[in-house]
Structure 1
Amino acid sequence: MTLNELRYIVAVARERNFRRAAERCFVSQPALSLAIQKLEEELGVQLFERRKTDIALTGVGEQIVEQAIRVLDDVAKIKEMARQGADQLVGSIRLGVIYTVGPYLLPELIPVLRDKAPEMPLDVEENTTASLETQLRNGVVDAAVIALPFDLPGIATVELYDEPFVVVVPADHRWADKTSIGAADLAGEKVLLLNSGHCFSNQVVEACPELSRKGEVLQGNSLETIRNMVASGLGITVLPCSAASERYRNPLLRMIPFDAPVPTRRIALAWRKSFVRNSAITALADAVKTIKSDCFSPVL
């Protein structure tokens, strides 16, 4: 068993395709296939199901790939230790961000990070929580900004901030002049939410359980699309505060706070415990925590 063979099986697990995995590893496809076959023979198990249209991990293959990722992380850690005095804030970091955070946090985060770590650019992957879980475990991203709860074996988290939700209605809606709205009142309205693949929608429904029982809920693919649907008069919605801040205001919309207790979400940074660049993680978390915003409350 060699480190290259471990790199090959991790690449195939990520790409689900031998040709793309070979390109990623800068080897020929026959060489990669032969190396994986040799490893399977050595281990006495089949790692991949080779189907006509794609490739899937077997049950034991999934466990072995997860262990291979940990081994490769440890190898990187050894190399990092050998580079005494190396600066962990030099070089890009692959950051996953959930869809309902990325467009609103990144414009605030990047200027701060450019000042604190100018040689550490962000390679950003926006996705759902479920997809980022997989990408984090498989080493596709180094860290991820997610909403809690996010409890995975081998994954560490640090809490960043709490963010309240706000109600958004058309400017001519009967609630437009209200100073606050009760969560239970939403059940009597046509409410537009993201589809069920987004954790934010689940959090809204948890804050207003009546929505799932007797409310009328329509679904959209992005918060920006939903915002425009509300502006057109199709219904109302709930947004995280950062998506309703001054830069996103629209004269066709009104933003209304919730009555207490205000529904909120807690945002955190997650990373593999085996990830080498601890200073980079600290710099990311510190950069977020220094952002000045009425929408971000420090975690007490």
Structure 2
Amino acid sequence: MFPISDPAPTLAQLRAFLAVAEHLHFREAAHSLRMSQSALSSAVSALEETLHTRLLERTTRKVLLTPTGEQVAVHAARVLKAVDDLMGEAAHSREPFSTPVHLGVIPTVAPYVLPVLLPMFGQAFPLLKLTVHEAKTETIVEELREGRLDMVLLALPTETTGLVEVPLYHEDFLLAVPQDHALARQSGPLARDVLKDLDIVLLNQGHCLREQAMDICREVGARATAATYATSLPTLVHLVAGGLGVTLIPESAVPVETGKHARLALRRFRAPAPGRTIGLAYRASSGRAAEYRRLAEAVHAAVAGRGLPVRMAARPGTDGDGTSPPPGSPVTAPAR
């Protein structure tokens, strides 16, 4: 611990150092902060003097963090996030949605739900400045926990502690097969164990839809075609239409992804059909919980009002209406 008379690092110094730590390049870091390179270098040097230690290894070609620098970068990020939260909470107490909301969305939801949500956000919350980051589940959950995202729209449960999860709707998975496949000519819903005799193509690693499909396959002893993976749902549908196998597709994606494929057929499963629950999640520790609940209610209403092929969960904040598992009231996972 430093003597109490020693000067403390300033927020400007911490921001300058953290920018260098993230970019590992002084010019790029200075550009990201819209300041001169000399001013940035002076701020970092002042921080090193204040902490009585070297944080960076400087060469003519690159910048490296020292072991101490790596630790200080972690603490600096936490301090700056806490300050941003403090400023945000003060602003929110004066005017809701006065600071941006950063929303993360998984790729197997974004193309089918965002066209419904974005116009609604603009009309219902004219002050809201929304940014959207589309990425796989693991990425957006990690960014949510680190404070880089405020809310995420994804498949529930996340199995992540310290989050409030708000179920919005449940949707079935349909089986997509080539039009000339034997199953395309059968009538009536399919039993799940029909998957045991099929070559199933999947999304690649990191997509929650892949993991959900794998779980269903394991339940019935089905196999997945290891040689054929896709990076997106549109590509997956093209592979099936081209005869490379069959796949599971969420019903909300059907109107967008399958209408242009004459060589594709869709089959339903017998009840209870396999499917997934989609909802919002945010940090339980956030000071903006009231705003996020308002957004969740608006998202629920927007999806319900557009007639998407899904079963709505209970309206957020109610005790559940039995229309779809699980109950729609927010569930808070315990903090670590």
Q: Smaller-chain TM-score range?
A: 0.7 to 0.9
Q: Find the counterpart in structure 2 of residue 97 from structure 1.
A: 105
8 Å Cα contact 2:201/2:245 also seen in 1: yes
User: CA shift at 1:185, angstroms?
Assistant: 2.1
Structure 2 stretches lacking a partner, 5+ long: 1-8, 314-325, 328-336
SS in 1 for 2:312: coil
Task: Give the length in aligned residue pairs.
Answer: 299
2:39 is aligned with 1:28: no
User: CA shift at 1:270, angstroms?
Assistant: 2.6
Q: Find the counterpart in structure 2 of residue 236 from structure 1.
A: 246
Q: Find the counterpart in structure 2 of residue 297 from structure 1.
A: 312
User: CA shift at 1:133, angstroms?
Assistant: 3.0
Task: Provide the aligned C-alpha RMSD in A.
Answer: 3.4
User: CA shift at 1:112, angstroms?
Assistant: 2.5
8 Å Cα contact 1:94/1:123 also seen in 2: yes
User: CA shift at 1:252, angstroms?
Assistant: 2.6
Further displaced range: 15-24 or 158-167: 15-24
**AA matched with 1:125:** H
For normalisation by structure 2, the TM-score amounts to 0.74
SS in 2 for 1:76: helix
Q: Find the counterpart in structure 2 of residue 111 from structure 1.
A: 119
**AA matched with 1:295:** V
Q: Find the counterpart in structure 2 of residue 88 from structure 1.
A: 96
SS in 1 for 2:188: coil
8 Å Cα contact 2:201/2:224 also seen in 1: no
Q: Which has the larger radius of gyration?
A: 2
SS in 2 for 1:89: coil
SS in 1 for 2:148: coil
**AA matched with 1:281:** Y
1:45-194, aligned counterparts within 5 Å? 61=70, 65-80=73-88, 82-83=90-91, 86-90=94-98, 92-152=100-160, 155-176=163-184, 177-194=186-203
* Residues 1:82 and 1:200: Cα distance change in structure 2 (over 3 Å): closer
User: CA shift at 1:6, angstroms?
Assistant: 2.9
Further displaced range: 126-135 or 71-80: 71-80
* Residues 1:266 and 1:14: Cα distance change in structure 2 (over 3 Å): farther
User: CA shift at 1:203, angstroms?
Assistant: 1.1
Distance 2:83 2:137 in 1: 28
User: CA shift at 1:212, angstroms?
Assistant: 7.9
SS in 2 for 1:209: helix
Between 1 and 2, higher relative CO (CA 8 Å, sep ≥ 6) is seen in 1
SS in 2 for 1:144: strand
Distance 2:146 2:160 in 1: 13
User: CA shift at 1:195, angstroms?
Assistant: 0.4
User: CA shift at 1:254, angstroms?
Assistant: 1.9
Q: Find the counterpart in structure 1 of residue 278 from structure 2.
A: 267
CA deviations on 1:99-122 (whole Å, 9 max, x unpaired) are 111111101212322232133243
CA deviations on 1:168-198 (whole Å, 9 max, x unpaired) are 1122211113432333322322212110121
Paired-residue identity, %: 34
User: CA shift at 1:7, angstroms?
Assistant: 2.5
